[in-house]
Each structure stands twice: as structure tokens, then as C-alpha cells.
Structure 1
Amino acid sequence: MTLFHFGNCLALAYVPYLITYKCSGLSEYSAFWKCVQAGAAYLVTQLCKMMVLATFFPTSEGSGGHLDILGEFMKSTVDLGDLLGFYFILTSIAAKGEMRFMIAGLGWATAELVMTRFIPLWVGARGTEFDWKYIQMSLESNINLIQHVATATLVWLWSRHDLNKSLQPVVMVLLGLSCYKPLVLEVLVNAMGLGSWVLLLSKVMFTGCVGVIALQLYVGLTASSQNHYQGK
């Protein structure tokens, strides 16, 4: 029974990634090793972030269980390094524009999934007692996949010279919200006492809004580019 529960959690976490790889056209484009490179960039970026956090933002003790908003804000600021990691991937991988952010987002999310989810699922989901938190953990990995693809899309849009200047502040605000999302959710949890399922639903709503807006910006940019090309 415990192995069956572990298999369900593993499938719930990993199968959507395989479906995304197959249905997005990346498999036909033979982008597997490019996704591996994106995953390697994730590992290097996280290592650099850990070094910065350990050097400049050491863990403080004796907080009394209260949320240190300033400290958490400074730590969330380090997550801006993720945007540099995405930008490095997008500029270093040779592929079509729409394939670049899919490779970056999927490779990044897959590396995060393997590094942060596999061991907790292997140790916890195989336990003798059933716990919903492992189902929630698997569902959250799917949310993270959408979030990382949307973030990669926004970074790609920001790097485009043909993006309407009036839309650049929108892209920058969305990128900022993506980086500071953990802080915002942490404040909501401490202020409103959100339960685990409500918190998961909040992540779904936030990620869905960012993803839809990023998709609309991408569709608008590609449509305007095609019209400009046909006009010539």
C-alpha cells in the first residue's frame, strides 16, 4: 500500500513534465540535451544563491516564531538571481524563440523537481501512514512547472527589442511578483492563518494569472511581428 501511494505521488509529480515535453514539440525538436543544459544552469544558479545567502544573510536564531519580514524580503531579493539564470539559458541555447523559453522553463523546473521532491517523496510517501502533504507536494510541482515556463517567457519578452515599450513595465512587475511570491504567501499564511489546501489554491490562482498574462503578451508580440512581416 505504501509503495502504491509512493507510485501515485511520483506519477502525479513527474508525468505532467513528460506530457509537456512530448506535446510541446520539444521531443520532435530533439531538445533533450538542451533541457539538461537548462537543468545544469539551475544547479549552478542555486549554488550561487546559497553562497550569497550563507555569506550575507545567515540564519538568525531566537526569532520567537515571528516572521522577520525584512530578513525574508532580503532573502527573496536573492531570488532575482533566478532571472539571471533564465537570461543566461535563453541567450546561450541555440533554438527558435518559442522553443527557447520552453526549454528554459521545462529544464529548470525538472531540475528543481528532482532536487527538491524526489527524496522527500521517497522517504515520506513510503511511510506507514498516509499523509496528504505528499499529494500536495506533487501538485505543487505542477504549479512550479507553469510558474517557471511563465517566468522564462517573461524574461524572453523582456529581452526582445520589438516589445512595445508600454508593456515593459507590465513584464517587469510580473517578474518582480514571481520572485517575491514566496514572501507574499508567507505573509498571508502568518497574517490570515491559511490552511495547506487554501495556500495551494492561492498558488494556483497566482500562477494561473501570471501564466495567462504572459501567454497573452507572447501571442500579441508574435501576432504583431507576423503582421509587420506581411506588411513588408
Structure 2
Amino acid sequence: MTFLHFINCVGLASAPYFLTYKYAGLADYNVFWKYLQTVFLYLFVQFSKMMVLATFFPDMDDSKFNVLIEFLKITVDFGDLIGLYVAMTQIAGKCEIKYLVAGVGWASAELIMTKFFPLWSGARGAEFDWKYIQISLDSNITLVQYISTALLIYLYNRNDTTRYTRIIIFLIALCCYRPLIAEILIHTVGLGSWSLIFCKALFTGFIGLIGLSLFYQTGGSFLKSSR
């Protein structure tokens, strides 16, 4: 029974990734190798971020929440933005293929590295716990978040979106500092786990819808020349 719970959690967490890869057209473009390259690039970026954090924020007391310290630490997540940009520059084809492969690959790597092992070690436990369902739902939100972020990065590097540059930069910054916003809400408002999942979903949906709106306002066309 506990193993069945583990399978259900893994299915809930990973099914949207499979469906996105299969039905968003990625499978038709033979981009699986580029997908794997994005996963390896994610691992390299995370290792680099860990080195930076260990160098500049050693022996920090994580039990005390400090907005300034957390702000500086999360600023390191700009490395993810650079990684997504590099991933997209290595992918040829339609603009949709570029940001989808980068976003799905990045989110898949995070799913494996940060979600699968807690599910493996915890969801097979003797007692049922809703937190593993929450982990699975959070992975779905993460998928949309990274696809939206990749789309915004793509839009920023198009010549025909200069009139939207400030909006795009603001949205990218919101994506980067989403963990800090969540921590502030937890410590100030006292959000519970389910409320936090709901707020993350609303936040991600808000970013994604604005990104898609900007994309279609610029024609939603094929690749433009970069800046």
C-alpha cells in the first residue's frame, strides 16, 4: 500500500512533464539530446551556485529568517536565468521549441534532484502524509514556472519586444525572487502548506498568462534575430 502511494505521487509529479514533452510537439523535433544537455547544464549551474553560496555565505544560521541575507542568497538564482538562456542558444528551430525544451529540461532536472528522492524516502513510509502530495503538486507548478521564465527570457532577447522590456525584466525578477516572496508570506502572514501551494499556483499562473499575452502580442511568430 505504501509503495502504491509512492507510485501515485511519482505519477502525479511526473505525468505533466511526459504529457508536455509528448503533446507540445517536442517529440516530433527529435530534441531529446538537447533535453538531456539542458539537464546536465542544470546540474552544472546548481553546483556553481552551491560553490558561490559556500564561499560568500558560510556558516549562516538558517534558523533565523533575515530578509536581506535571504535576498542576497536568492540573487544567486540569477544563475538559473543564465543557464536557461545558454540552453536556448543551443537549440535550433521554432521559438516555441526553444523555450519549451529549456523550460521542461530545467524543471525535469529539478524534479529529479529535489523531488524524487524525498518521495522515494518518505512516500514509501508506513504512514500516509499529505506533504508528499504537496511535493508532487509543487513539481507541476515548477514546470509551468520554468517554462514561463524561459519564455520571458526568449522575449527579452527579441528585437521586436523593446517596448515591453521593463515589464519583461520585472516579471523575470519576480520569477527569480519567488522563493523569497514565499518565505516572507510564511513568516509574516503565516501561510500553511496548502495555502502556500495555492499562492504559488496563482503567482505562476499570473506570470505565465502575462508572458503568453506578450508572446502573442508580438505575433507569436518564428525566431527573430537576437539583440
Tell me the TM-score range normalised by the shorter chain: over 0.9
Query: Which of 170, 184, 194 in structure 1 is aligned with 2:167?
Result: 170
Alignment of 1:1-232 (within 5 A): 1-61=1-61, 65-163=63-161, 165-222=162-219
- Spell out, residue by residue over 1:103-123, the C-alpha distance to the aligned partner (whole angstroms, 9 max, x if none): 000011101101111111011
Unmatched segments (≥5 aa) in structure 2: 223-227
Matches of 1:2 and 1:38, distance apart in 2? 33
Which moved further from structure 2: 83-92 or 206-215? 83-92
Matches of 2:92 and 2:41, distance apart in 1? 15
Runs of 4 or more, structure 1, over 4 Å off, are none
Q: Equivalent residue of 2:177, what SS?
A: helix
Matches of 2:213 and 2:99, distance apart in 1? 15
Name the aligned partner's letter for residue 185 of structure 1. A
| Structure with bigger gyration radius | 1
Q: How many residues align?
A: 222
Give me the TM-score of the superposition, normalised by structure 2: 0.95
Matches of 1:131 and 1:117, distance apart in 2? 15
Name the aligned partner's letter for residue 69 of structure 1. V
Q: Sequence identity of aligned pairs in percent?
A: 50
RMSD: 1.3
Give me the TM-score of the superposition, normalised by structure 1: 0.93
Q: Equivalent residue of 1:162, what SS?
A: helix
Q: Equivalent residue of 1:67, what SS?
A: coil
Matches of 2:14 and 2:25, distance apart in 1? 18
Q: Equivalent residue of 2:128, what SS?
A: coil
- Kindly state the Cα deviation for residue 28 of structure 1 after the two structures are TM-superposed: 0.9
